[in-house]
Amino acid sequence: MEQNFDGRPPVVPSAATSSAPTPLRPGTPNTDDNRNIFEGTDTASNAPGTGTNPFVSPDASRPASSFESSSGSPYEERPGVGGQRYFHSRLVKKGEIEKPWLEKVDPKEKWVTIMPLLGILLGLAISGFLIWDGMRSVVHHKYCPVLDEDFSNGLDPSIWTKEVQVGGFGNGEFEQTTGGDSNVFVENGHLMIKATLQDANLVEKNNVINLLKDGTCTSKDYYSCVAATNTTNGNSSVVPPTLSGRINTFKGAKIKYGRVEVTAKLPVGDWLWPAIWMLPVNDTYGPWPSSGEIDIMESRGNNHTYSQGGNNIASSALHWGPDPANDAWWKTNNKRKALHTTYSAEFNTFGLEWSQKYLFTYINSRLLQVTYTNFNKPMWKRGAFPDSTANGTRLVDIWSSTGRDNTPFDTEFYLILNLAVGGTNGWFEDGMSGKPWLDHSPNAKKDFWNARDTWYPTWTQPQLEVSRVVITQQCDGDEEL
């Protein structure tokens, strides 16, 4: 019997089978001449019949090695029964299906979920407590008005005093503060404290400025009231090379604990030194700095490239100590930088909040603090002062007798607004950013004047401009508790 190449007997057509091709159903691939593509081909197939498998790669596209095998046949038989291929099922056998929901769960595994949740809840609880405790501890004092000045009616002489001096105010400053309207005046509802040049004749020729003679000096110190220029060879004496202004509220507004807010625009110009600060009404514990000083704001008119910080930096400090050599200001000092601008570009509010328990300064908001001092231990102990001065004089605790931790900041203070020029106290550091004088040089003021062609052109906005001053007194009734 004739057999096919796979060993099976040939299929004999039955009566129901004819030699005519079975009609193709619609969509069946066909040839262009209406022939069945599974009929009549020159290549043998491993399936019964004479058709061609359309899914077999054309001969031309197969490598020559694929047409021959070790048996000499173009088709290599694979092992198996009757030459058939093995069937490999990819179905998962019964019993091999995992059913994790039926498995026994280790009781300890639940803590993997519980512990993080407990941690989150505990963290939220602690955060909530800290917020509550912080809000509970915030002190809300009652404040009573002392001064609310917008300068709409000019400068009230019953409140403000113009200081007139030539002595440099203990800092070796280069300005003469005047009492006229050239350097301190109100313009468009704003207070202006403006720096200008001194009369060149007074600086360059033999002259004397005697404020005692005309009765305008506001100081009792001779050297604060009299200045002279001496052109004799070897003599370095000159009158202050600039004019400016300084005013205070000594007569009209002073507080012991409370708030101070000054809204101001700072000056632009090299070596200008604007300040908003406070001094004690009385030297209760001795001369400066024994009775304290509160610097709400100090800055410099130099631009942002100045090494110590120009008009983009505002500083605050407390000055306190048994003598000038032991001033512990550096322990209660800080500064704040303007964000992407300067304090000369627009108005800012420079503030102070002061109580028996604390004192802090801020800019625009109580949240934007510059310096904060907590009076939680005696200031003498905080200062850690030496037992004696450099010359051997014994230093005595001058504050402990009050029994208050905030002494010397426990007396009345008054407000000062001023615009200084230069100085020899180190506010402008020697040898930095082209400083044209040396602090310890006897020619400091003269050298500054001679370099005016370098700094005077930078005075494009040489005034401290103030739009409002608000002073309030803490009036809880328990200020001394």
At residue 448, does pLDDT exceed 90? yes
14: helix, coil or strand? coil
Q: Is the pLDDT of residue 183 over 60?
A: yes
* Residue 11: inside a domain: no
d(CA 421, CA 175): 6
Per-residue confidence band for 89, with pLDDT thresholds at 50, 70 and 90: low
Please give the pLDDT value at position 138.
65
pTM reported for the whole predicted model: 0.74
473: its two tokens: 């007194």
- Provide the phi-psi class of 309: left if phi over 0, else alpha when psi is between -120 and 50, else beta: left
In a domain, 95, yes or no: no
The one-letter amino acid code at 124 reads L
Q: Taking Cα atoms as reference points, which of 208, 218, 169, 156 lies closest to residue 419?
A: 169
Residue 210: the pLDDT is 98
Within-domain flag for 65: no
How many angstroms separate the first and last alpha carbons of the chain? 126
Could you tell me which residue, 94 or 468, shows the higher pLDDT?
A: 468
Tell me what pLDDT residue 5 has. 45
pLDDT single digits (tens) 115-146: 899 999 999 999 998 888 776 666 788 999 99
Residue-level pLDDT at 269: 99
What is the domain extent for residue 156?
143-474
Is residue 124 a part of any domain in this protein?
no
Residue 167 is given by DSSP the state: S
Total structural domains within the chain: 1
Phi then psi for 243, rounded to 5 degrees? -120, 145
- Position with higher pLDDT, 333 vs 113: 333
Kindly state whether residue 6 falls inside one of the protein's structural domains. no
One-letter identity of residue 64: A
Task: Kindly report, residue by residue over 363-391, the tens digit of the pLDDT.
Answer: 999 999 999 999 999 999 999 999 999 89
385 contacts: CB under 8 Å, gap ≥ 6: 321, 322, 326, 328, 395
pLDDT category, 19, cuts 50, 70, 90?
very low
For the chain, what percent of residues have pLDDT higher than 70? 79
- Would you place residue 104 in the very low, low, confident or very high pLDDT band (cuts 50, 70, 90)? confident
Of 393 and 73, more confident: 393
Q: Does some domain include residue 37? A: no
Q: Taking 90 as the threshold, does the pLDDT of residue 65 lie above it?
A: no
Q: What digits encode the pLDDT tens for the residues 385-420?
A: 999 998 999 999 999 999 999 999 999 999 999 999
CATH of the domain at 390: 2.60.120.200
Report d(CA 114, CA 122) in Å as an integer.
12
CA 329/CA 349 separation, integer angstroms = 23
Q: What angle (nearest 5°) sits at the alpha carbon of residue 287, between those of residues 281 and 290?
A: 90
* Mean per-residue pLDDT of the chain: 86
**Which pLDDT score, from 0 to 100, does residue 247 have?**
99
| Residue 129 backbone dihedrals phi, psi, to 5 degrees | -65, -45
Residue 138 lies in a domain: no
Burial class (CB in 10 A: 0-12, 13-18, 19+), 391: exposed
The pLDDT, as a whole number, for residue 110 is 77
How far is the CA of 453 from the CAs of 200, 276, 302, 339, 441, in angstroms? 13, 29, 15, 31, 20
pLDDT tens track for 231-247: 998 888 999 999 999 99
User: Across the strands, what pairs with 293?
Assistant: 319
Does residue 88 sit within a domain? no
Give the pLDDT mean for 453-461.
99
**CB distance 471 to 415 below 8 Å:** yes
Mean pLDDT calculated for residue range 71-88: 54
Short-list 317, 170, 153, CA closest to 246: 170
**Which range in 4-18, 91-105, 253-267 is most confidently predicted, on average pLDDT?**
253-267
What is the enclosing helix (H) or strand (E) of 200? helix 200-204
